[in-house]
Homo-oligomer: A and B are copies of this chain.
Amino acid sequence: MEPLWKEQDYVCCSGSKRFAKEMAAASPFADLDHALQSARDIWFNKIDVNGWLEAFAAHPAIGAASPSISQWSKEEQSTALATATDSTVLELVEWNARYREKFGFVFLICASGRGTPEILAELKKRYLNRPIVEFEIAAQEEMKIIELRLAKLFKTQARTTPSVTAQ
């Protein structure tokens, strides 16, 4: 059993306030799998389109250098950063802007393990989508990011917090 996490513990998993609230309401979870199952149900069935946009808005643009980027974002983008060259970074900045102009939100991709050329190719391919199609793909990518972050949350807490059952 996980420790009884509160709303603010889930904020680092997704920028949707309602997601954090619903996760806190659904906890405690028996294990990570249970938490992931609830997270998927909440994200796809209970968060409305405004909540999705709110979550997307919490992400920095892929490849953007900003002091406000979280440690987890940095870790997720470490392969992208390691494979970036000056020209691919410039191209990424240009295509990020083009994408935002067309779709009205940041290009979202679960960057973990992906190099900059792969991300750029994906961005160019997805740019051709209809806005509603792309909106749903972005939500699926956000779900992958939430899954990675939930796993990190469980791992971190297991190291630092005595669990309820161990008390």
**Which residues of A pack against B, CB within 8 Å?**
44-53, 102-105, 130-132, 135-136, 139
Copies in the complex: 2
Q: Can you report 25 residue pairs joining A to B where beta carbons are below 8 Å apart?
A: A44-B130, A44-B132, A45-B130, A45-B131, A46-B131, A47-B131, A48-B102, A48-B103, A48-B104, A48-B131, A49-B49, A49-B53, A49-B103, A49-B104, A49-B105, A49-B131, A49-B132, A49-B135, A50-B53, A50-B104, A51-B104, A52-B131, A132-B135, A132-B136, A132-B139
- Docked CA distance A136–B135 (Å): 11
**Inter-chain contacts of A50 with B (CB < 8 A):** 53, 104
The residue of chain B having its C-beta at the shortest distance from the C-beta of A101 within the complex is B48
Within the complex, the shortest CB–CB distance from A140 to chain B, in Å, comes to 10
- List 6 extra interface pairs beyond A49-B135, A132-B135, CB under 8 A: A44-B132, A48-B131, A49-B53, A49-B103, A49-B104, A50-B53
Question: In angstroms, how far is the closest chain B Cβ from the Cβ of A130?
Answer: 6
Chain B proximity of A141: nearest CB distance (Å): 14
Shortest C-beta distance, A1 to chain B (Å), equals: 30
